[in-house]
Structure 1
Amino acid sequence: MRLSLRGLSKTFGPVKVLDDVQLSVAPGEIHGLAGQNGSGKSTLIKILTGVYTPDTGAHLSVDGAEVRMPVRWNEVRAAGISVVHQDLGLIDHLTVAENVCVGGFPTARGGRIDRRERDRLTARTLERLGIDLEPDALVAGLGAPERAEIAIARALRDHAPGKGLMILDESTRALNGEELERIHAMLRRIVAEGASAILISHSLPELKAVTQRVTVLRDGRVAAAGLETDDLDEHDIARAMLGSSFDIAASSRAAQDRVERGRPVLRVRGVSGTNLRHVDLEVAAGEIVGITGLPGSGHEELPYLLAGAIPGAVGGVEVDGHELGHDAGIQDRLAAGLALVPERRDRDGLALDLSVQDNLCMPRLRHHGSAGFVGRGWQADQTWHAIRELGIRPADPRALVKQLSGGNQQKVLLAKWLTGNPKVLVLHEPTQAVDVGARKDILRRLVRAAADGTAVVVVSSEVDDLTEICDRVLVHQSRGGLRPGSADDPDLLVQQIYAAQQPTGASA
Structure 2
Amino acid sequence: MARTDPLLSMRGIDKTFGNVPALIGASLEVYEGEVMALIGQNGAGKSTMIKVLNGFCRKDSGTITLNGEPWAASSPEMAQRGGVSTIFQEINLIPFRTVAENIYLGRELKTRLGLLDLRRMQEGARRLLAEFDVDVDVRRPLGDFSTAIQQMVAIARAVSLEARLVIMDEPTSSLDESEVEVLFETIRRLKAKNVAVIFVSHKLDELYAVCDRVTVMRDGRTVAVSTMAEMTKLQLVSTMLGRDLTEVSKAGATAFTSGAHSIGEELLAVEDLAVGRRVRDASLAVRRGEIVGLAGLLGAGRTETVRAVYGADPHQKGEIRLFGKKADFKRPIEAIEAGLGFCSEDRKHEGIIPNMSVRENLTLALLPALSRAGIVDEARQREIVTRFIKEIGIKCSSPEQKIRELSGGNQQKVLLARWLCMNPKLLILDEPTRGIDVGAKAEIQRLIRKLADDGLGVLMISSEIEEIVEGADRVFVLRDGRTVAEFDGDAITEGSVMEAMAHSHGEVA
Structure 1-normalised TM-score?
0.89
Contact 1:166 1:196 in 2 (8 A): yes
Contact 1:290 1:460 in 2 (8 A): yes
Instruction: Give the direction of change, closer, same or farther, for the CA distance of 1:11–1:280 in structure 2 (3 Å limit).
Output: closer
Q: Counterpart of 2:363 in 1: which secondary structure?
A: helix
- CA–CA distance in 2 between the matches of 1:429 and 1:455? 16
What amino acid sits opposite 1:291 in the alignment? L
TM-fit CA distance, 1:410? 1.2
Equivalent residue number for residue 287 of structure 1: 290
Which range is displaced more, 96-105 or 106-115? 106-115
Equivalent runs, 1:447-462 vs 2, <5 Å: 447-462=449-464
Equivalent residue number for residue 237 of structure 2: 238
In the alignment, is residue 493 of structure 1 matched against residue 500 of structure 2?
A: no
What amino acid sits opposite 1:221 in the alignment? R
TM-fit CA distance, 1:114? 5.1
Equivalent residue number for residue 485 of structure 2: 483
Q: Counterpart of 1:438 in 2: which secondary structure?
A: helix
TM-fit CA distance, 1:111? 5.4
Instruction: Give the direction of change, closer, same or farther, for the CA distance of 1:281–1:143 in structure 2 (3 Å limit).
Output: closer
Equivalent residue number for residue 193 of structure 1: 193
Q: Counterpart of 1:97 in 2: which secondary structure?
A: helix
The alignment of Structure 1 onto Structure 2 pairs a total of residues equal to 495
- CA–CA distance in 1 between the matches of 2:182 and 2:485? 28
What amino acid sits opposite 1:355 in the alignment? S
- CA–CA distance in 2 between the matches of 1:398 and 1:140? 33
Contact 2:95 2:143 in 1 (8 A): yes
Instruction: Give the direction of change, closer, same or farther, for the CA distance of 1:167–1:477 in structure 2 (3 Å limit).
Output: closer
TM-fit CA distance, 1:142? 4.1
Q: Deviations over 1:122-155 (max 9, x none)?
A: 566557x455557854334444444333322322
The one of 65, 82, 91 aligned to 1:88: 91
- CA–CA distance in 2 between the matches of 1:180 and 1:150? 13
Instruction: Give the direction of change, closer, same or farther, for the CA distance of 1:298–1:115 in structure 2 (3 Å limit).
Output: closer
Equivalent residue number for residue 229 of structure 1: 228
- CA–CA distance in 1 between the matches of 2:127 and 2:268? 54
Equivalent residue number for residue 40 of structure 1: 45
In the alignment, is residue 470 of structure 1 matched against residue 469 of structure 2?
A: no
Instruction: Give the direction of change, closer, same or farther, for the CA distance of 1:229–1:375 in structure 2 (3 Å limit).
Output: same
Equivalent residue number for residue 447 of structure 2: 445
Instruction: Give the direction of change, closer, same or farther, for the CA distance of 1:249–1:78 in structure 2 (3 Å limit).
Output: closer
Q: Counterpart of 2:366 in 1: which secondary structure?
A: helix
Which range is displaced more, 277-286 or 183-192? 277-286
- CA–CA distance in 2 between the matches of 1:132 and 1:375? 52
Equivalent residue number for residue 49 of structure 1: 54
Instruction: Give the direction of change, closer, same or farther, for the CA distance of 1:169–1:250 in structure 2 (3 Å limit).
Output: closer
Which range is displaced more, 101-110 or 188-197? 101-110
- Note the aligned Cα RMSD (angstroms): 2.7
Q: Counterpart of 1:46 in 2: which secondary structure?
A: helix
Equivalent residue number for residue 181 of structure 2: 181
- CA–CA distance in 2 between the matches of 1:99 and 1:379? 43
Percent identity, aligned pairs only, is 34
Unaligned runs of 5+ in 2: 1-5
Equivalent residue number for residue 217 of structure 1: 217
- CA–CA distance in 2 between the matches of 1:215 and 1:442? 25
Which range is displaced more, 93-102 or 335-344? 93-102
Instruction: Give the direction of change, closer, same or farther, for the CA distance of 1:198–1:485 in structure 2 (3 Å limit).
Output: farther
Contact 2:54 2:73 in 1 (8 A): no
- CA–CA distance in 1 between the matches of 2:175 and 2:128? 22
- CA–CA distance in 2 between the matches of 1:379 and 1:234? 43
Contact 2:485 2:500 in 1 (8 A): no
What amino acid sits opposite 2:49 in the alignment? L
Q: Counterpart of 1:240 in 2: which secondary structure?
A: helix
Contact 1:319 1:424 in 2 (8 A): no
Contact 2:132 2:156 in 1 (8 A): no
Contact 1:165 1:196 in 2 (8 A): yes
- CA–CA distance in 1 between the matches of 2:81 and 2:208? 31
Contact 2:7 2:31 in 1 (8 A): yes
Instruction: Give the direction of change, closer, same or farther, for the CA distance of 1:267–1:26 in structure 2 (3 Å limit).
Output: same
Equivalent residue number for residue 3 of structure 2: none
TM-fit CA distance, 1:93? 3.9
Unaligned runs of 5+ in 1: none
Equivalent residue number for residue 171 of structure 1: 171
Equivalent residue number for residue 97 of structure 1: 100
Equivalent residue number for residue 27 of structure 1: 32
Equivalent residue number for residue 409 of structure 1: 411
TM-fit CA distance, 1:394? 1.6
Contact 1:4 1:61 in 2 (8 A): yes
Which range is displaced more, 363-372 or 467-476? 363-372
- CA–CA distance in 2 between the matches of 1:63 and 1:499? 49
- CA–CA distance in 2 between the matches of 1:193 and 1:109? 33
Contact 1:286 1:454 in 2 (8 A): yes
TM-fit CA distance, 1:84? 1.2
Which range is displaced more, 209-218 or 365-374? 365-374
